[in-house]
Amino acid sequence: MKLVVIGIGQCGGRIADEFARLNKRAHSRRGIEIIVDTFAVNTDSADLSGLLTIHPDYQHRILIGAGATHGHGVAKMSEVGAQLAKEDGDKILDAVRVPKQLFEADAFLLVAGAAGGTGSGATPVMAKMLKERFDKPVYAVIVLPFEHEEMNEERALFNTAVCLKSIYSIADAVILIDNQRYVRKDFSLQNNIAEINRSIVEPFFNLLCAGEEKKPKHIGARMLDAGDIMQTLYGWTVIGYGKSLLPLITLPVDFSRNYRKRSTRTNKGIEAMDEALSELSVSCNTSEAYRALYLLSAPAKEMNMDLIKELGDHLKGVAPQAVLRGGDYPREKGAMDITIILSEFCDMEKVKEFYSKSASLAKQYGERQKTKTSKGELTKEAGKDVPSLL
């Protein structure tokens, strides 16, 4: 599957930068392209300057709203970010149309943090513009705020709720990422953010590569390509990734039909799937998903029908209502990797939490504004007899 990736805001731009790096890895190690082009859109020029892999020209690092913000961002005001995206949307669409390979792309992927101003405001606007201009699916990766942001920053909560409601009404699928699930307490802030961004992007690697593979020996018996992914992605979506190392094989190779070796393969596959399920990008009730997909990547000789059956049964057990799709990708050495997508959730508790919290915040904002106005009038009245120098 090939994507056009557009990162919006600081968080989105950094994750888009990781997608650009992922494409370089696919090209150098496997000789295939999975990202047609990568763009970063922001109202803050410093954030754009901090990217490492996305092309540094103005057509790939796109500054919007320069006249209004002077390149210093929108200070978490999502409504300002949305307005600037409406005004400068043509600039972004013009840049997206430049790559000659644009029409090789299967879909657009918008990436943004929900708590900030530019990402939360501009992403739904850009999704709508892309849907109106191009006949391609538009998917969104929306990164939810950290726990401390939820607790201490009311504006982050409000932005998140507004962004989720807006993007869900436009995008074909919204892949939710909970930042807090990737936090490592012993890492520095900079290293933590970098590691989180890598963890967010890693599950997409084999998933995108499998359908673009060219070498016959790496084509799966049940190839999982863009059509399968597009039929799976719908509405609220989560993604997970698990990996289990295989035991080292000593020479001479044992070709016996030993039941222990066969059970080891199955156990390693289930182990990787359990890790993927425990590391889903957002905490959710898996039984509420109506679509599911898994991709097994392992050495060809380690995959057999028993393993595929066990993995399918295991996933069906945790998502009994889901229409299940699966595939194999004979690529990895010394490990079994499993990527899981669960989609079309009829209920998403995490989203409901943001909605309920922000509903009370909207009322509080109105009451505070009235209080500030009344207090301001009292202060003005108290100083009516004091002369002014102006």
pLDDT of residue 385: 72
Work out the pLDDT band at 375, boundaries 50, 70, 90. Answer: low
| Contact predicate 242/206, CB 8 Å | no
Environment class of 156 (CB within 10 Å of its CB; exposed 0-12, middle 13-18, buried 19+): buried
Residue 253 has pLDDT above 60, yes or no: no
Tell me the pLDDT band of 255, cut-offs 50, 70 and 90. Answer: very low
Q: What percent of the chain has pLDDT over 90?
A: 64
Helix (H) / strand (E) element for 6: namely strand 3-8
pLDDT at position 254: 46
Phi, psi of 245 (to 5 degrees): -80, 140
Q: Considering the chain, what is the average pLDDT of its residues?
A: 88
Cα 248 from chain centroid (whole Å):
34
Q: Which long-range contacts (CB under 8 A, 24 or more apart) does 186-194 make?
A: 193/14
Q: Cβ(226)–Cβ(106) under 8 Å?
A: yes
Instruction: Domain ranges for the chain, please list them.
Output: 3-201, 239-345
Look up residue 55 and give its DSSP letter.
-
In which band, very low, low, confident or very high, does the pLDDT at 360 lie, cut at 50, 70 and 90?
A: confident
CA distances from 244 to 37, 106, 203, 218, 274 (A): 32, 31, 14, 20, 10
Let me know: does 119 contact 9? Beta carbons within 8 Å: yes
How does residue 251 score in pLDDT terms, banded at 50, 70 and 90? very low
Q: Report how far Cα 128 is from the mean position of its chain's Cα atoms.
A: 18
Task: Name which residue leads in pLDDT, 357 or 61.
Answer: 61
| Residue 273, pLDDT score | 94
Q: Are 178 and 350 in contact (CB under 8 A)?
A: yes
pLDDT of 216 higher than 70: yes
Q: What is the pTM of this model?
A: 0.89
Model pLDDT, residue 250: 41
pLDDT band at 378 (very low <50, low <70, confident <90, very high): low
| Per CATH, domain 239-345 is 3.40.50.970 | no
Most confident segment among 71-75, 161-165, 384-388: 161-165
| Structure-token pair, residue 155 | 């504006």
Just give the CATH number of 3-201: 3.40.50.1440
The pLDDT tens digits for 82-141 are 999 999 999 999 999 887 788 899 999 999 999 999 999 999 999 999 999 999 999 999
Please state the three-class secondary structure of 63-100 as a single string. Answer: ECCHHHHCCECCCCCHHHHHHHHHHHHHHHHHHHCCCC
DSSP 193-220: HHHHHHHHHTTHHHHHHHTT--SGGGS-
Residue 296: the pLDDT is 94
Tens of pLDDT, residue by residue over 280-298, are 999 999 999 999 999 999 9
Q: How far apart are CA 220 and CA 13, in angstroms?
A: 33
110, 141 contact by CB (below 8 A): yes
Distances (CA, A) of 99 to 27, 92, 217: 18, 13, 31
Distance between CA atoms of residues 207 and 226, nearest Å: 9
Q: What does the pLDDT read at residue 371?
A: 58
Task: Give the tens place of pLDDT for each residue, 177-209.
Answer: 998 888 776 666 778 888 899 999 999 999 999
